[in-house]
Chain A
Amino acid sequence: MSGTEKTRTGAEALVQCLENHGVEYIFGLSGGAAIPIFDALVDSKIKLILVRHEQGATHMADGYARATGRPGVVLVTSGPGATNTVTGIMTAKMDSVPMIVLTGQTPTFVLGKDAFQEADILGITLPIVKHSYLVKQSNDIPRIVNEAFHITNTGRPGPVLIDLPKDITSGVCTAALDSPMDLPGYPEEAKLDQAGILKMAELLNQSQRPLLLIGHGAVIARAGKAVVKLAEKLNSPVTNTLLGKGAFPETHCLSVGMLGMHGTAYANKALTRCDLIFSIGSRWDDRINGDTKKFCVGAKRLHVDIDPAEIGKILSPDAYAIGDARKIIEELVKHVKPLDTKDWIKELNGYKKKYPLKYKKQGGLKAQHVIDEMYKVTKGKVIVTTDVGQHQMWAAQFFLIDEPDTWLTSGGAGTMGYGFPAAIGAQFGCPDKTVVAIVGDGGFQMTLSELATAVIHKLHLKVLIIDNKYLGMVRQWQELFFDNRLSGVDLKGNPDFVKLAEAYGAKAFRIKRSADVRKVLTKAMEYNDGPCVIHAEVIKEDNVFPMIPAGKSAYDMIIEKPKKRMEKPTGST
């Protein structure tokens, strides 16, 4: 640095580092301890998106990251500002999303003294971050930011939190912006595990009824094309997890769609019949594997994951390779041979015919109908985000996804309130695409204040509210497993979402009748002057099927509501 150059504050160094890392947007909400950073942003080309609640900022950063593959950046103040990011950080951690969370902090000389708006956010978030820092020297800022960007989006991605005391951001930083990283414990990318790959190829080549199981890892690793090649060479059917949607085209003839608790019947039937199951970036999670003892009984298990801790965590594989899914599959393709799977595919096509996903258009407005029409009207060529609950499962069933990074949903964490702000983030990241948030009336009300954010920036996103005036998924469980003793699920007092949207200055549409669905959705999609909200008032009591009760296996799948009362589930929620 030349002697004439202006002295940099820690905050200015921070902002310049962010610029150097290609940050376009920061999603944030200001506050006392973060003022120096907000001040430095005034002179930056980075656009600050002011949110209405910090949770919204984290989900926006998350949606931005999932839609673009680049880390989302959040900036909040200390104390409550920081604690409001906890849900969003946990959501990103559970789904391996790259995110940098910058939190203002009270000055170092009062740390630990219960100063105004002091919260030990580093301590609070320890179990839900990939890594975190409390910066104690202004000169450490460039190194830490460089490390954070490296950590958040290499290996298995995850959120990194940087806690920045006010005296550190106000203090002078003379360190070079490209200060080298000091990460002796952080692994370099591993070499291709050739032996593991050959072992997997050998088992695949012996299989008669293989099934590829595609998870989020395949999306993150951009492994889609390689997986298509593998599946087509093997003639192997493919199923995907909720988060794996998009890695392998769901409209492909080899796809049996999503498996798991509310997956398609044919995907779950395939689980019970395959002689080999090959997880590519899925972690055998309890939504697809309620009972590990009865998961694909007798089938060989193959596993590709970038995280060594996932190998054998839930199920021990017969062969595995640790590393980048795309590179591993590209190598694996060379070693497999075409299999004769005609009978196997014929069997699965039989299940497709026998147990199709279906709904009735009569008898009131159905959520499935609205979502299915949305899929048809948009021809699937949009980015879809969802909230969590029944509408999420119906969206997963009826909104088929062919392209990676166009399906954003909170899977691991199951965070209600995620869908709408995630759509805002995705829309900022992908201005040329249309983003559709499919949300429930419950989840939407958790983060709807971000309507202001969407309106101010004239984002042309659509919010489709599936309003059944219930916390529907819990109501379904209570109906099926708890003698219909409804408790804490009635959302009596919901606002008129059309009026609410209009109060924020957004365009709004309403759907009440099945006959209007296509007409209204078409009109809503044509509207292009800012956000629009579509309030679909669907029938109150409908259930998501097929269903595998928690703690059960695919062998116990139910296609429709049983006449007999069901046992209380033993598995996790």
Chain B
Amino acid sequence: MREMPHLFDANVFLGPIFLRHDDTPDDVPRLLAAMDENGISRALVTHGLAKWQHPAVGNRLVIQETKGIDRLVPCWVVMPSVTGELPPERELVAQLLDSGARAARLCTGMNRLTLEPFEIETLLEALAERRVPLFLDTNNRHWSEPRPWAFIEWALRTYPTLPLVLLREPPANYRTLFTLMDRHSNLYIETCYFQGHDAIALGAGRWGADRLVFGSGLPEWDPGMAITGLTYASFSVEERDMVASGSLLRLLDNCVV
């Protein structure tokens, strides 16, 4: 009998999220119960209010609410500091690491960021200096929505020490995505929406399993498809386990604390 993988989920929200319903887990006990139901051992969690209210609020809450819970690793939402909504970039990244968070999420559309270099370069430079993995959240729902590919290519080329993880990467972009994955070893794919035919195994064979990071989108998205997409993929148990947890652990451990 195959062993269950140790799932370390890279894409989870804690607390209230937009368009939730009565069954949506929206606090720590309910989130942990949902993780148990789906065999998810640990999760990198962003607070829902960091995305759907303001990073200054949600980043504080995610530290408070995950305190003492080893299964939940906090992730902050980051933005440029020019308006004074968040501390200056280097200070923000230092606070992120000091708080125990080990990753950052950039909510491009929700925060109305243009992603032009003049707007974003100071933030990316600060993250790259401390090798804090940046999870790119374009809030995409459907596979046909566009990606900011010019920004992604510029960021990967300009900041080679910055790990950039594409959240909810859809199955329709391979003609573009494969080029960037081939060229830039600091680009990673979160797998919850990476559902081209056997694409996870194909990607592990082409770029290495450590370039793929398991994520589910819980509790915004149903974790079932993300999980069986991994457990039934046509690769070795070692590759499966790397995608399930090993690749995320490496990214988080690589932060310069």
Asked if A and B are interacting partners, one says no
